[in-house]
Structure 1
Amino acid sequence: MSTWLITGTSTGFGRALAEAVLERGDDAVVTARDVSTVEDLAKAYPEKALALALDVTDQTQIERVVREAEARFGGVDVLVNNAGYGYRGAVEEADDEDVRRLFATNFFGPVTLIQKVLPGMRERRRGAIVNVSSIGARITLPGSAHYSASKAALEGMSGSLRREVEPLGITVMAVEPGNFRTDFAGRSLTGAKTVIADYEPTVGPRRKGTDQSHGTQPGDPKKLAQALITVLESGRAPQLLVLGSDAVQNFEGVLESQRADLDAWRSVGTSTDL
């Protein structure tokens, strides 16, 4: 039996994962900015679930959640940094305050949570940290530059952290989902207030107001939850897990393109040594 701390459990991936781990008998700390959206889980599993309010940009709340999780269940075995949201707009259009808020949620919040759970994991010499990224970090679509950057930062940090804590019995895995049937393209998507006409051919079709993907995504969040559990239980969790047939296909396309660029410019790349 494990204790999970999952952020962003009101809907989507977080909700599906919380339900899956509770159904299998694990303990779960379920969190959301509005705690009323997750209290039903605590009522359904009064001995196994702890519902707490958490805004991942609030360090005081993070410290309280980790403290209460450890007091109730003795420690956190699996941290899942799932809370986050999307942002659409051209790089030039983005408001500085919007971008800082995006990174505070998608990157700095997860980093702070990791820092707060690691002392307990190090003491017990076991644990797992799962950072939910996006295939957007790989395919870098127009209009998603800042969102892609926030997830790329999360992945870069995850890779280094994995090497730091692996000798201590702790595993770290980043997850790149594709398009899943969640609220990401609905309530969880925001957009730049400024609109520059020159970017309509590239960014226009992907603006929040013109996005047509909500409710049509191919991925099943419940299957993603089961996949995460299966991979973690295997004891062979990869550094990066790509989930969704669309994500796998897109990932392969990026790899092929990058390989072609590397080969085409290999002579230039190797010509710069002393």
Structure 2
Amino acid sequence: MSKTIFITGASRGFGKLWAEAFLKRGDKVVATARNTDSLADLVATYGDNILPLQLDVNNRADSFAAVAKAKGHFGTIDVLINNAGYGLFGSIEETSEADARQQIETNVFGLLWVTQAALPIMREQGHGHIIQVSSVLGIVTLPLLGIYNASKWAVEAISESLVQEVKPFGINVSLIEPNGYATDWAGASATQSEPIAAYDEHRKSFGEASSQEGFFGDPAATSDAVLKLVDAENPPLRLFLGKHTLPWAKQVYADRIAEWEAWNDVAVAAHGA
């Protein structure tokens, strides 16, 4: 049975790849982008099965209007994929107030507005699946991406609370957590803070690591995983994408637990009598 999928940030990268994967199998797709010209090829191929909508997710009123228009057009929204977002590169010291605020506005508040707009529809129809595109950097961190890390950690917290709130209404929530992929996330889509020379060594290390063969995954290889997630009767809260994510997460969490245990006597004593 076909589904109606609402995808933000569908102009390129994961968003466009996944939109086309859904359309190819006969689903209906509401594809939002700041500039819908990039969706013309999908419209030409899939006709009435795709509804392109111009949307800047930072605008709460426009987000609600886009979701309402999608519901009016297709009659339902079965799946929401919050994919809109970008990366801000720069150390904490280098990050300007404007850049930090814009990163949180888009990656956190933009996702929140679209989620809030879709929830009443999904509650009324008694089913739905909200998929938040997070990152492996929502559970671990890298230097030079501190504010981006923070935005994705916020998405993780929002989603963990949300799934507890909406499960009784028949609504599922999932987080997609990719490792690095060969999209333009670190290129044309990214924002760079004004560099300070003291952090050049971090930039060098990051460049060397990311230039290694096999560091980045193939974006096209993710589509089958996303289709399986959408079709799952009991979807997971978290779905890792890529071969690096789980080993990295296991090592980081093992280190965290070891440190917490080493300091547990201090923690327990701080509880008092």
TM over 0.5: yes
Match of 1:127 in 2: 128
Paired position in structure 1 for 2:249 = 251
Show the counterpart of 2:264.
266
> Match for residue 93 of structure 2?
92
Q: Is the contact between residue 173 and residue 238 of structure 1 (CA under 8 Å) also seen in structure 2?
A: yes
Task: Quote the offset at 1:118 in angstroms.
Answer: 0.6
Calculate the TM-score normalised by the size of structure 1: 0.93
The amino acid across from 2:170 in the alignment is G
Give secondary structure in 1 for the equivalent of 2:165: helix
Shift of residue 25, structure 1, vs aligned partner: 0.7
Q: Distance in 1 between matches of 2:256 and 2:269?
A: 19
Measured against aligned partners, the alpha-carbon deviations of 1:101-158 in whole angstroms (never above 9, x if no partner) come to: 1111100001000111111100011000000011122221111000000010011000
Distance 2:242 2:62 in 1: 33
Aligned partner of 2:202 in structure 1 is: 202
After alignment, is 18-27 or 212-221 more displaced? 212-221
Match of 1:25? 26
Say which is worse superposed, 142-151 or 247-256, in terms of deviation.
247-256
When the two chains are superposed, the root-mean-square deviation of aligned CA atoms in Å is 1.9
**Which amino acid is the alignment partner of residue 9 of structure 1?**
A
Map of 1:140 onto structure 2: 141
Uncovered stretches (5+) of structure 2, i.e. residues with no partner: none
- 2:55 aligned partner, one-letter code: L
Aligned residue pairs: how many? 271
Superposed counterparts of 1:1-274, under 5 Å: 1-193=2-194, 195-203=195-203, 205-206=205-206, 213=211, 217-274=215-272
Matched to 1:14, the amino acid is: G
Q: CA deviation at 1:203?
A: 4.4
Q: Percent identity?
A: 38
Whole-angstrom distance in 2 between the partners of 1:269 and 1:58? 43
C-alpha distance in 2, partners of 1:211/1:94? 22
Q: Secondary structure at the match of 1:267?
A: helix
Q: Deviations over 1:75-107 (max 9, x none)?
A: 211000001110111111111011111111100
Where does structure 1 lack aligned partners over 5 or more consecutive residues?
Answer: none
Counterpart Cα distance in 2 of 1:66 and 1:215: 41
Structure 1: 4+ residue segments shifted above 3 A = 203-207, 210-218
